[in-house]
A and B are shown apart, each in its own frame.
Chain A
Amino acid sequence: MDWAPSCTLAALAARAELLATVRGFFQARGVMEVQTGIIGAATVTEPAVESIAVPGLGYLQTSPEYQMKRLLAAGAPSIYQLGPVFRAGEAGRRHNPEFTMLEWYRLGFDDRQLMDEVAALVAAALGPAPVDRVTYADVVARAPADVEVQATGGLSARELLDLRFANGLDTLPPGRWFITDYPADQAALARRRPHDPGVAARFELVVDGLEIANGYHELTDSREQRARFERDQAARRAAGQPEHATDERLLAAIESGLPDCSGVALGFDRLLMLKLGAKSLREVMPFPIDIA
């Protein structure tokens, strides 16, 4: 029987140390640690993220975002959370259906200020190094022109763009890269730029080819948020995916007043991979899904 952990005890010790580094980083900055539910009655509507249902209760959360925003609407200060999140059907060298997310929200920050803080956290974890910036469009333009893919019925324009984005990312030189200026249809829960509504105030951080963080200058307009949820639902219906009820509690919280803030989710296990030079999540988590 495969009972033994897939990672070494040294990797577990490094994990404990990195958890302490992260907690120290936020303590020094006066950001409060919170714990929200691992189970939520509602879940994300984004078509490319699939949740794991808990019969009778709701869903294992794919990110603590919705409940953390309800805390912010209730008057919480800047907050962070370190905890497990779950995504169905994601398994591979860089994916596991359960992983540890570091998610934090900063009141009064825009996406640029939050990017600076993300860079500082990564420097605290991995040591200092320069961080470059590249736009989403530039990443897509780097992809080889002849993209061949096997897909029944072909790819939609959006899916093709996703693929070109993936292929473009692979061409980035090693190092730390912020990807900025996502097209508005990729905004998810980010606001659009007031003077450039085709662009979302969203960023991602890629380190040595590994995507580790995704951040937004958060959308605080409940009507636009509802419209986006409905658009997601329509896309899910069209693709024959399970539909998830819109999270009315989140929308009510945003409507009652989500303060101006930026938030980011960072894959803690991938950060640990980078710290240890690991090639696979198996080297940094004890029980990946196939031996869970």
Chain B
Amino acid sequence: MASYSTNEFKPGIKVLLEGEPCAILENEFVKPGKGQAFNRVRFRNLKSGRVWERTIKSGESLEAADVLDLDMEYLYEDGEFWHFMKTDGSYEQLAAPASALAEARQWLKEQGVYQVTLWNDAPIAVSPPNFLDLEVVETDPGIRGDTAQGGTKPAKLSSGAVVKVPLFIEQGDVLRVDTRSGEYVSRAKSD
């Protein structure tokens, strides 16, 4: 199995840390007092998304993690798994467990393209695109002619997410939302 020595560490490298696939975010070489050198490393755990900080004796190695990011189209869920299809023309499908979906679960839209992270060919994480157009399926009636006034109300979107929207938004409107912040951006242009 390939591995990376501390002197090969740089941001973006994917390694196994305590059995978990991680991406290196930052690597700092420290060697005070002409003593033993250490690497202070920040990792992102690709399964949990959490940031781990570790001090590693320089010269140690970490096993490379077989991690791949793929753009895949969301198809459907069967109650246990969420099914995605490769966009490379192979029509190959993969089933992601709930643990891989995490936050992405409330941003799913059929035929939307998502980034699926594979570890040893199994999906471990799903990321939605930064911006998505989604339909309002539930909200209080709009207040027309009052677009200048501030104030917001909750609106439930077709994907399940609830976002704060301006008062003039109506059920059936299609909204552009920022999936990173969960914020309303605008009304999407109608086709």
Is there an interface contact between B33 and A162, defined as CB atoms closer than 8 Å? yes
Known: A148-B54, A148-B55, A150-B60. A162 touches B28 (CB 8 A): no
Among A32-77, those with CB < 8 Å from B are 46, 48-49
Q: Is A188 among interface residues, defined by CB-CB distance under 8 A?
A: yes
Of A91, A150, A159, A214, which is within 8 A of B54 by CB? A150
Known: A149-B56, A150-B56. A49 touches B28 (CB 8 A): no
Contact pattern, B 29-68, Cβ under 8 Å of A = 1, otherwise 0: 1111111111000000000000000111110100000000
Q: How far is the CA of A182 from the CA of B57 in the complex (A)?
A: 22
* Residues on B with beta carbons closer than 8 Å to the beta carbon of A151: 56-57, 60
Is there an interface contact between A93 and B29, defined as CB atoms closer than 8 Å? yes
Q: Is B127 among interface residues, defined by CB-CB distance under 8 A?
A: no
Q: How far is the CA of A151 from the CA of B37 in the complex (A)?
A: 12
* Residues on A with beta carbons closer than 8 Å to the beta carbon of B31: 48, 90, 95, 166
Q: Is B27 among interface residues, defined by CB-CB distance under 8 A?
A: yes
Interface residues on B, range: 10 to 19
When C-beta atoms are compared, the residue in chain B nearest to A204 turns out to be: B33
Interface residues on A, range: 20 to 34
Nearest CB of chain A from residue B146's CB, rounded to whole Å: 50
Q: Is A186 among interface residues, defined by CB-CB distance under 8 A?
A: yes
Among B2-48, those with CB < 8 Å from A are 7, 27-38
Chain A residues packing against B (C-beta within 8 Å): 46, 48-49, 89-95, 136, 147-152, 155, 158-159, 161-163, 165-166, 169, 179, 182, 186, 188, 204, 211, 214
A-B contact pairs, 24 of them (CB 8 A): A46-B34, A48-B34, A48-B36, A89-B37, A89-B58, A90-B29, A90-B37, A91-B7, A92-B28, A92-B29, A93-B28, A94-B29, A94-B30, A136-B33, A147-B55, A149-B57, A150-B60, A152-B57, A165-B33, A166-B32, A186-B34, A204-B33, A211-B33, A214-B34
